Chains A and B, each alone.
Chain A
Amino acid sequence: MNDEENEIVKCKKYWNPYVGGIVLGTLLFLTFAIAAQGFGASGTFARATAQFLVDQDKSWLSNAYIANYFKHSDSALTNWTVIETFGILIGGFISAVLAGRFVFSPDKAASYSLTGRYFWAFTGGMVVAVASRLARGCTSGQGLDGMATFSVGAWIFMFATFAGALLLSPLFKKQWVEQNQPRHEATVEEATHE
Protein backbone atom coordinates (compact mmCIF):
# COMPACT_ATOMS: atom_id res chain seq x y z
CA MET A 1 0.00 0.00 0.00
CA ASN A 2 1.54 3.32 -0.97
CA ASP A 3 1.22 6.70 0.73
CA GLU A 4 -1.56 7.92 -1.49
CA GLU A 5 -3.80 4.98 -0.61
CA ASN A 6 -3.04 5.37 3.09
CA GLU A 7 -4.09 8.95 2.81
CA ILE A 8 -7.50 8.10 1.42
CA VAL A 9 -8.16 5.59 4.17
CA LYS A 10 -7.10 7.78 7.10
CA CYS A 11 -7.70 11.35 6.01
CA LYS A 12 -10.57 13.46 4.84
CA LYS A 13 -10.96 13.79 1.09
CA TYR A 14 -9.92 16.99 -0.62
CA TRP A 15 -12.75 19.26 -1.68
CA ASN A 16 -14.22 18.92 -5.13
CA PRO A 17 -12.20 21.40 -7.26
CA TYR A 18 -15.26 23.38 -8.38
CA VAL A 19 -16.55 23.69 -4.82
CA GLY A 20 -13.02 24.73 -3.77
CA GLY A 21 -12.96 27.34 -6.53
CA ILE A 22 -16.31 28.80 -5.46
CA VAL A 23 -15.08 29.04 -1.85
CA LEU A 24 -11.73 30.58 -2.87
CA GLY A 25 -13.39 32.98 -5.30
CA THR A 26 -15.84 34.17 -2.65
CA LEU A 27 -12.97 34.68 -0.18
CA LEU A 28 -11.06 36.60 -2.84
CA PHE A 29 -14.11 38.82 -3.42
CA LEU A 30 -14.53 39.44 0.34
CA THR A 31 -10.85 40.35 0.63
CA PHE A 32 -11.17 42.90 -2.16
CA ALA A 33 -14.44 44.18 -0.71
CA ILE A 34 -12.79 44.78 2.67
CA ALA A 35 -9.21 45.76 1.89
CA ALA A 36 -9.38 46.90 -1.78
CA GLN A 37 -6.64 44.40 -2.58
CA GLY A 38 -6.54 40.67 -3.12
CA PHE A 39 -4.43 37.79 -1.85
CA GLY A 40 -0.65 37.91 -2.12
CA ALA A 41 2.43 36.14 -0.82
CA SER A 42 5.66 36.86 -2.71
CA GLY A 43 5.78 40.48 -1.50
CA THR A 44 6.05 39.23 2.08
CA PHE A 45 9.32 37.45 1.36
CA ALA A 46 10.73 40.41 -0.54
CA ARG A 47 9.88 42.65 2.43
CA ALA A 48 11.21 40.21 5.02
CA THR A 49 14.50 39.89 3.12
CA ALA A 50 14.76 43.68 2.73
CA GLN A 51 14.07 44.20 6.45
CA PHE A 52 16.70 41.61 7.39
CA LEU A 53 19.34 43.26 5.19
CA VAL A 54 18.59 46.76 6.50
CA ASP A 55 18.71 45.49 10.10
CA GLN A 56 22.21 44.16 9.39
CA ASP A 57 23.47 47.24 7.59
CA LYS A 58 21.66 50.54 6.98
CA SER A 59 23.59 51.10 3.75
CA TRP A 60 21.20 48.64 2.03
CA LEU A 61 18.73 51.55 2.02
CA SER A 62 20.70 53.01 -0.87
CA ASN A 63 19.39 50.13 -3.00
CA ALA A 64 16.50 51.64 -4.96
CA TYR A 65 14.33 48.52 -4.73
CA ILE A 66 14.79 48.10 -0.97
CA ALA A 67 14.28 51.84 -0.31
CA ASN A 68 10.82 51.57 -1.87
CA TYR A 69 9.67 49.30 0.98
CA PHE A 70 10.62 51.93 3.58
CA LYS A 71 8.94 54.87 1.87
CA HIS A 72 5.75 54.78 3.95
CA SER A 73 6.96 53.17 7.15
CA ASP A 74 10.07 52.57 9.27
CA SER A 75 9.43 48.86 8.95
CA ALA A 76 9.02 46.99 5.68
CA LEU A 77 6.85 44.50 7.57
CA THR A 78 4.04 46.93 8.46
CA ASN A 79 2.06 45.77 5.48
CA TRP A 80 -1.28 44.15 4.73
CA THR A 81 0.15 41.26 2.67
CA VAL A 82 2.76 40.43 5.35
CA ILE A 83 0.04 39.98 7.99
CA GLU A 84 -2.18 38.06 5.58
CA THR A 85 0.73 35.69 4.85
CA PHE A 86 0.94 34.81 8.56
CA GLY A 87 -2.75 33.98 8.31
CA ILE A 88 -2.13 31.63 5.36
CA LEU A 89 0.40 29.70 7.48
CA ILE A 90 -2.03 29.43 10.41
CA GLY A 91 -4.95 28.49 8.14
CA GLY A 92 -2.96 25.75 6.41
CA PHE A 93 -1.94 24.37 9.80
CA ILE A 94 -5.48 24.37 11.24
CA SER A 95 -6.93 22.70 8.15
CA ALA A 96 -4.22 20.02 7.99
CA VAL A 97 -4.59 19.15 11.67
CA LEU A 98 -8.39 18.92 11.45
CA ALA A 99 -8.16 16.77 8.31
CA GLY A 100 -5.56 14.46 9.83
CA ARG A 101 -3.08 15.47 7.15
CA PHE A 102 -0.42 17.23 9.25
CA VAL A 103 2.81 15.30 8.78
CA PHE A 104 6.46 16.31 8.36
CA SER A 105 7.29 15.01 4.90
CA PRO A 106 8.28 16.21 1.44
CA ASP A 107 6.04 15.73 -1.60
CA LYS A 108 7.52 13.93 -4.62
CA ALA A 109 7.28 10.77 -6.73
CA ALA A 110 8.17 7.82 -4.49
CA SER A 111 11.29 6.78 -6.40
CA TYR A 112 12.82 10.30 -6.60
CA SER A 113 15.75 11.06 -4.28
CA LEU A 114 15.23 13.33 -1.29
CA THR A 115 18.41 15.31 -1.97
CA GLY A 116 17.27 15.94 -5.52
CA ARG A 117 13.85 17.06 -4.30
CA TYR A 118 15.32 19.57 -1.83
CA PHE A 119 17.85 20.81 -4.40
CA TRP A 120 15.11 21.61 -6.92
CA ALA A 121 12.77 23.03 -4.28
CA PHE A 122 15.50 25.49 -3.27
CA THR A 123 16.60 26.33 -6.82
CA GLY A 124 13.00 26.69 -7.96
CA GLY A 125 12.38 29.01 -5.02
CA MET A 126 15.23 31.27 -6.09
CA VAL A 127 13.99 31.39 -9.68
CA VAL A 128 10.39 32.03 -8.57
CA ALA A 129 11.54 34.89 -6.30
CA VAL A 130 13.40 36.75 -9.05
CA ALA A 131 10.50 36.10 -11.45
CA SER A 132 7.95 37.45 -8.93
CA ARG A 133 9.81 40.77 -8.68
CA LEU A 134 9.89 41.18 -12.48
CA ALA A 135 6.20 40.27 -12.62
CA ARG A 136 5.13 42.48 -9.65
CA GLY A 137 3.61 39.50 -7.93
CA CYS A 138 3.09 35.77 -8.01
CA THR A 139 0.27 33.45 -9.05
CA SER A 140 -1.82 35.00 -6.23
CA GLY A 141 -1.02 38.71 -6.23
CA GLN A 142 -0.56 39.00 -9.98
CA GLY A 143 -2.38 35.95 -11.43
CA LEU A 144 -5.58 35.45 -9.39
CA ASP A 145 -6.08 39.06 -8.31
CA GLY A 146 -5.30 40.42 -11.76
CA MET A 147 -7.48 37.97 -13.72
CA ALA A 148 -10.40 38.57 -11.34
CA THR A 149 -10.11 42.35 -11.90
CA PHE A 150 -9.78 41.96 -15.71
CA SER A 151 -6.10 42.99 -15.93
CA VAL A 152 -4.34 42.30 -19.25
CA GLY A 153 -0.98 41.91 -17.46
CA ALA A 154 -2.25 39.02 -15.35
CA TRP A 155 -3.18 37.07 -18.49
CA ILE A 156 0.25 37.76 -20.05
CA PHE A 157 1.88 36.54 -16.85
CA MET A 158 -0.26 33.39 -16.52
CA PHE A 159 0.18 32.30 -20.16
CA ALA A 160 3.94 32.90 -19.89
CA THR A 161 4.04 30.93 -16.62
CA PHE A 162 2.26 27.97 -18.17
CA ALA A 163 4.55 28.10 -21.23
CA GLY A 164 7.69 28.26 -19.05
CA ALA A 165 6.55 25.27 -16.98
CA LEU A 166 5.60 23.19 -20.03
CA LEU A 167 8.91 23.93 -21.77
CA LEU A 168 10.95 22.57 -18.84
CA SER A 169 8.47 19.86 -17.73
CA PRO A 170 10.20 16.93 -19.55
CA LEU A 171 13.36 17.56 -17.47
CA PHE A 172 11.50 17.15 -14.17
CA LYS A 173 9.09 14.36 -14.98
CA LYS A 174 10.83 11.83 -12.70
CA GLN A 175 10.38 14.14 -9.73
CA TRP A 176 6.60 14.32 -10.08
CA VAL A 177 5.17 11.39 -12.03
CA GLU A 178 5.31 7.88 -10.53
CA GLN A 179 7.38 5.65 -12.78
CA ASN A 180 6.13 2.17 -11.85
CA GLN A 181 2.35 2.35 -11.95
CA PRO A 182 1.28 5.35 -13.97
CA ARG A 183 -2.24 4.06 -14.55
CA HIS A 184 -2.81 3.26 -10.90
CA GLU A 185 -1.56 6.71 -9.93
CA ALA A 186 -4.04 8.35 -12.27
CA THR A 187 -6.89 6.43 -10.69
CA VAL A 188 -5.88 7.48 -7.20
CA GLU A 189 -5.58 11.14 -8.18
CA GLU A 190 -9.07 11.00 -9.64
CA ALA A 191 -10.37 9.46 -6.45
CA THR A 192 -8.85 12.15 -4.24
CA HIS A 193 -10.15 14.98 -6.32
CA GLU A 194 -13.37 14.12 -8.07
Chain B
Amino acid sequence: MNDLILPLYKNGFLSSEANFFFALIMGITFGFALERTGFTRSKHIAGTFYFTNMAVPKIMGTTVITAATWFVIFSWFGWIDISQLFTPATYIWPYVVGGLMFGAGMVMAGYCPGTAVAGVGTGKTDALVFLLGVVVGMFVYFVIYPSISHFANSSNMGVLKLQDLFGGNEYTSYILTVILETGIILFMMLLHKLSKTGKTA
Protein backbone atom coordinates (compact mmCIF):
# COMPACT_ATOMS: atom_id res chain seq x y z
CA MET B 1 0.00 0.00 0.00
CA ASN B 2 2.90 2.32 0.72
CA ASP B 3 4.58 3.08 -2.58
CA LEU B 4 5.85 6.40 -1.36
CA ILE B 5 8.63 6.00 1.17
CA LEU B 6 10.62 8.90 2.57
CA PRO B 7 13.24 10.27 2.07
CA LEU B 8 12.01 11.33 -1.36
CA TYR B 9 15.38 11.94 -2.96
CA LYS B 10 16.99 8.60 -2.04
CA ASN B 11 13.97 6.63 -3.18
CA GLY B 12 13.86 8.18 -6.62
CA PHE B 13 10.81 10.41 -6.25
CA LEU B 14 12.83 13.56 -6.84
CA SER B 15 15.18 14.68 -9.61
CA SER B 16 18.47 16.37 -8.67
CA GLU B 17 17.10 19.66 -9.96
CA ALA B 18 14.00 19.40 -7.79
CA ASN B 19 16.18 18.42 -4.84
CA PHE B 20 18.28 21.56 -5.36
CA PHE B 21 15.11 23.64 -5.55
CA PHE B 22 14.00 22.28 -2.18
CA ALA B 23 17.52 22.96 -0.82
CA LEU B 24 16.91 26.65 -1.45
CA ILE B 25 13.40 26.57 0.01
CA MET B 26 14.44 24.67 3.16
CA GLY B 27 17.43 26.98 3.56
CA ILE B 28 15.14 30.02 3.46
CA THR B 29 12.83 28.56 6.11
CA PHE B 30 15.83 27.60 8.26
CA GLY B 31 17.33 31.11 8.01
CA PHE B 32 13.94 32.64 8.79
CA ALA B 33 13.49 30.49 11.90
CA LEU B 34 17.08 31.18 13.05
CA GLU B 35 16.39 34.92 12.91
CA ARG B 36 13.01 34.61 14.66
CA THR B 37 14.57 32.69 17.55
CA GLY B 38 17.42 35.18 18.06
CA PHE B 39 20.07 32.75 16.77
CA THR B 40 21.50 35.51 14.55
CA ARG B 41 22.83 37.38 17.60
CA SER B 42 26.34 36.47 18.73
CA LYS B 43 25.55 37.93 22.15
CA HIS B 44 22.64 35.53 22.61
CA ILE B 45 24.71 32.53 21.55
CA ALA B 46 27.75 33.43 23.66
CA GLY B 47 25.40 34.15 26.59
CA THR B 48 24.92 30.38 26.85
CA PHE B 49 28.47 30.01 28.15
CA TYR B 50 27.88 32.57 30.92
CA PHE B 51 24.42 31.21 31.78
CA THR B 52 22.89 34.63 31.05
CA ASN B 53 20.82 33.46 28.07
CA MET B 54 19.21 30.04 28.07
CA ALA B 55 17.53 30.29 24.66
CA VAL B 56 20.21 28.28 22.81
CA PRO B 57 20.06 25.06 24.87
CA LYS B 58 16.24 25.26 25.04
CA ILE B 59 15.92 25.70 21.27
CA MET B 60 18.55 23.09 20.35
CA GLY B 61 17.12 20.51 22.76
CA THR B 62 13.55 21.06 21.54
CA THR B 63 14.71 20.97 17.91
CA VAL B 64 16.39 17.59 18.33
CA ILE B 65 13.48 16.13 20.30
CA THR B 66 10.95 17.38 17.72
CA ALA B 67 12.86 16.09 14.69
CA ALA B 68 13.52 12.73 16.36
CA THR B 69 9.84 12.44 17.35
CA TRP B 70 8.77 12.89 13.71
CA PHE B 71 11.34 10.29 12.61
CA VAL B 72 10.09 7.74 15.12
CA ILE B 73 6.39 8.33 14.29
CA PHE B 74 7.01 8.08 10.53
CA SER B 75 9.25 5.08 10.97
CA TRP B 76 6.62 3.34 13.14
CA PHE B 77 4.09 3.62 10.32
CA GLY B 78 6.68 2.58 7.74
CA TRP B 79 6.62 5.94 5.96
CA ILE B 80 10.35 6.68 6.28
CA ASP B 81 13.49 4.59 6.05
CA ILE B 82 15.68 6.03 8.83
CA SER B 83 18.72 4.06 7.67
CA GLN B 84 18.75 6.14 4.46
CA LEU B 85 19.22 9.42 6.33
CA PHE B 86 22.74 10.75 6.12
CA THR B 87 24.68 10.61 9.39
CA PRO B 88 28.41 11.39 9.50
CA ALA B 89 30.69 8.56 10.63
CA THR B 90 32.05 8.79 14.17
CA TYR B 91 35.78 9.64 14.40
CA ILE B 92 36.30 9.69 18.17
CA TRP B 93 39.53 11.68 18.67
CA PRO B 94 39.12 14.09 15.76
CA TYR B 95 35.65 14.91 17.15
CA VAL B 96 37.00 15.48 20.68
CA VAL B 97 39.76 17.80 19.44
CA GLY B 98 37.52 19.36 16.76
CA GLY B 99 34.78 19.96 19.34
CA LEU B 100 37.12 21.58 21.89
CA MET B 101 38.46 23.88 19.15
CA PHE B 102 34.96 24.59 17.83
CA GLY B 103 33.81 25.65 21.30
CA ALA B 104 36.89 27.84 21.75
CA GLY B 105 36.16 29.52 18.40
CA MET B 106 32.49 29.98 19.31
CA VAL B 107 33.16 31.79 22.59
CA MET B 108 35.62 34.07 20.74
CA ALA B 109 33.26 34.77 17.84
CA GLY B 110 29.74 34.10 19.20
CA TYR B 111 28.77 32.41 15.95
CA CYS B 112 28.84 29.06 14.25
CA PRO B 113 28.77 28.97 10.43
CA GLY B 114 24.97 28.57 10.00
CA THR B 115 23.96 31.28 12.46
CA ALA B 116 26.56 33.65 10.97
CA VAL B 117 25.10 33.23 7.45
CA ALA B 118 21.64 34.14 8.76
CA GLY B 119 23.32 36.91 10.81
CA VAL B 120 24.83 38.46 7.68
CA GLY B 121 21.31 38.45 6.23
CA THR B 122 20.18 40.59 9.18
CA GLY B 123 23.06 43.03 8.72
CA LYS B 124 25.32 41.81 11.54
CA THR B 125 28.78 43.10 10.63
CA ASP B 126 30.58 40.84 13.11
CA ALA B 127 28.95 37.83 11.40
CA LEU B 128 30.46 38.93 8.07
CA VAL B 129 33.92 39.31 9.64
CA PHE B 130 33.48 35.86 11.22
CA LEU B 131 32.75 34.31 7.81
CA LEU B 132 35.87 35.94 6.32
CA GLY B 133 37.78 34.26 9.13
CA VAL B 134 36.08 30.97 8.27
CA VAL B 135 37.28 31.19 4.65
CA VAL B 136 40.85 31.87 5.78
CA GLY B 137 40.56 29.01 8.27
CA MET B 138 39.47 26.63 5.51
CA PHE B 139 42.55 27.66 3.52
CA VAL B 140 44.74 26.96 6.55
CA TYR B 141 43.16 23.52 6.91
CA PHE B 142 43.79 22.61 3.26
CA VAL B 143 47.44 23.65 3.62
CA ILE B 144 48.05 21.69 6.83
CA TYR B 145 45.88 18.71 5.79
CA PRO B 146 48.75 16.57 4.37
CA SER B 147 50.54 16.70 7.73
CA ILE B 148 47.47 16.05 9.92
CA SER B 149 45.50 13.67 7.66
CA HIS B 150 46.64 10.68 9.71
CA PHE B 151 45.09 12.11 12.88
CA ALA B 152 42.04 13.54 11.06
CA ASN B 153 41.11 10.06 9.79
CA SER B 154 41.98 8.15 12.96
CA SER B 155 39.61 6.28 15.32
CA ASN B 156 36.94 5.89 12.62
CA MET B 157 34.01 3.87 14.01
CA GLY B 158 31.88 4.21 10.87
CA VAL B 159 28.26 5.28 11.32
CA LEU B 160 27.76 4.63 15.03
CA LYS B 161 24.27 5.05 16.49
CA LEU B 162 23.31 5.15 20.17
CA GLN B 163 21.71 1.71 19.82
CA ASP B 164 25.02 0.27 18.58
CA LEU B 165 26.68 1.45 21.78
CA PHE B 166 23.96 0.94 24.39
CA GLY B 167 21.96 -1.86 22.76
CA GLY B 168 18.28 -1.78 21.93
CA ASN B 169 16.91 -0.29 18.73
CA GLU B 170 16.07 3.12 17.27
CA TYR B 171 13.14 3.46 19.67
CA THR B 172 15.33 3.02 22.77
CA SER B 173 17.82 5.47 21.24
CA TYR B 174 14.93 7.91 20.82
CA ILE B 175 13.99 7.60 24.49
CA LEU B 176 17.65 8.09 25.48
CA THR B 177 17.88 11.18 23.26
CA VAL B 178 14.75 12.72 24.81
CA ILE B 179 16.10 12.04 28.33
CA LEU B 180 19.52 13.52 27.51
CA GLU B 181 18.13 16.66 25.86
CA THR B 182 15.56 17.25 28.62
CA GLY B 183 18.27 16.71 31.23
CA ILE B 184 20.55 19.24 29.55
CA ILE B 185 17.80 21.87 29.37
CA LEU B 186 16.92 21.37 33.08
CA PHE B 187 20.61 21.39 34.09
CA MET B 188 21.23 24.64 32.16
CA MET B 189 18.15 26.25 33.74
CA LEU B 190 19.47 25.26 37.18
CA LEU B 191 22.87 26.84 36.42
CA HIS B 192 21.06 29.94 35.12
CA LYS B 193 19.15 30.24 38.43
CA LEU B 194 22.31 29.69 40.50
CA SER B 195 24.27 32.30 38.54
CA LYS B 196 21.49 34.85 39.11
CA THR B 197 21.27 34.26 42.87
CA GLY B 198 25.07 34.52 42.89
CA LYS B 199 24.82 38.02 41.49
CA THR B 200 22.26 39.19 44.03
CA ALA B 201 24.23 37.85 46.98
A interface residue numbers (CB < 8 A to B)? 14-15, 17-18, 20-42, 44-46, 48-50, 53, 60, 63-66, 80-81, 83-96, 99, 101-109, 117-118, 120-169, 172-173, 175-177, 182-183, 185-186, 189, 192-193
Interface of chain B residues 1 through 32 with chain A (CB within 8 A):
6-10, 14, 19-20, 22-32
- Number of B interface residues in the complex (CB < 8 A): 133
Interface SS, A side: helix
Q: Are the C-beta atoms of B99 and A164 separated by less than 8 Å?
A: yes
Query: Which single residue of chain B is at the shortest CB-CB distance from A32?
Result: B85
Q: Which of B6, B63, B119 gathers the greatest number of chain A CB atoms within 10 Å?
A: B63
21 A-B pairs (CB sep. < 8 Å): A17-B55, A20-B62, A25-B63, A25-B69, A27-B29, A34-B6, A35-B22, A36-B85, A64-B149, A89-B120, A91-B32, A109-B43, A121-B109, A121-B110, A123-B105, A124-B104, A133-B145, A134-B95, A140-B112, A153-B90, A164-B107
Query: Which single residue of chain A is at the shortest CB-CB distance from B188?
Result: A162
Report chain B residues within 8 Å CB of A42.
112-114, 134
Q: Are the C-beta atoms of B123 and A96 separated by less than 8 Å?
A: yes
Q: How many Å from the CB of B91 to the closest CB on chain A?
A: 7
Report chain A residues within 8 Å CB of B104.
124, 127, 131, 164-165, 167-168
Additional pairs, 9, CB under 8 Å, beyond known A92-B32, A101-B122: A25-B66, A30-B26, A35-B19, A44-B117, A46-B141, A66-B142, A153-B95, A164-B100, A175-B46
Q: How many Å from the CB of B3 to the closest CB on chain A?
A: 16
Q: Are the C-beta atoms of B123 and A45 separated by less than 8 Å?
A: no
Given that A45-B113, A122-B129 are contacting pairs, would A160 and B27 also be in contact in the complex, using a CB cutoff of 8 Å? no
Given that A153-B89, A161-B99 are contacting pairs, would A127 and B32 also be in contact in the complex, using a CB cutoff of 8 Å? no
Report chain B residues within 8 Å CB of A28.
63, 66-67
Q: Which of B35, B119, B135 gathers the greatest number of chain A CB atoms within 10 Å?
A: B35
The answer for the CA separation of A176 and B41 in the assembled complex, in Å, is 11
Report chain B residues within 8 Å CB of A108.
42-43, 126
Interchain Cβ contacts within 8 Å, total number: 544
Report chain A residues within 8 Å CB of B138.
45-46, 49-50, 129, 133
Of B86, B131, B174, the contact of A37 (CB 8 Å cutoff): B86
Q: Which of B120, B126, B149 gathers the greatest number of chain A CB atoms within 10 Å?
A: B126
Of B23, B47, B127, B173, the contact of A87 (CB 8 Å cutoff): B23
The answer for the CA separation of A147 and B179 in the assembled complex, in Å, is 12
Q: Which of B7, B64, B82, B127 gathers the greatest number of chain A CB atoms within 10 Å?
A: B64
Q: Are the C-beta atoms of A95 and B31 separated by less than 8 Å?
A: yes
Report chain B residues within 8 Å CB of A40.
114
